[in-house]
Amino acid sequence: MIPNMPVPPRSPRSDTVGAQLSVAETLCEQRGRRLTPIRRKVLELLLRHGRSLKAYELLEAMREVHPGAAPPTVYRALDFLMDEGLIHRLDAVNAWSACHDAGGAPHDLLVVCTGCGAVAEVSDPAMSRQLAERVAQTGYALATHETEIRALCPQCQQKQPAEAGHQHHHH
């Protein structure tokens, strides 16, 4: 077990969503960027769901609010939010998730549940530095400062048959 592992948020309360949207607006204003209503809505949907969402899920949720929402609109909003560090793109599950600590420390490790798409953000600068150094020894440079770790959240672990985790113990 990794120490200081944050518990991934399950359905966040609306007051925390409001607070996080305010932080996002302030961050954008300070950088001279605009959090347009569409961008704000995409971020709000990701914050409210408390887990990662695929593009089509976001589009469906957007269409409930903006019936005319088109895929390019949603993708442009996602690109903007990613550039501003307000959301994470998760290749492990081909989805996006809100950054729940946009104004705080950068998280270098994103622990992604491949079962349900839940995400835990972990900041471990020492481990990230070691990883970057190890990669540098191969002559490569890390393309991103975030590392995705594919894992199963506690809920999905409970759904798995008990023997699944013990296969590697048989000799």
Is residue 99 a known part of a binding site?
no
Length of the chain equals 171
107 annotated as a binding-site residue: yes
Q: Which of 77, 78, 99, 80 lies closest to 88, judged by CA? A: 99
Scan for tokens 């985790």, then name that residue.
165
Check whether 145 is labelled as a binding-site residue.
yes
Which ranges of 10-152 would DSSP assign to H, the alpha helix? 14-30, 37-49, 55-65, 71-83, 125-137
Q: Is 153 annotated as a binding residue?
A: yes
Find out whether 56 and 69 touch, Cβ atoms under 8 Å: no
CB distance 127 to 108 below 8 Å: yes
Other C-beta atoms closer than 10 Å to the C-beta of 27 total 16
Tokens of 125: 């600068």
Annotated binding site for Zn(2+): 113, 116, 153, 156
Annotated binding site for Fe cation: 107, 145
Annotated binding site: 107, 113, 116, 145, 153, 156
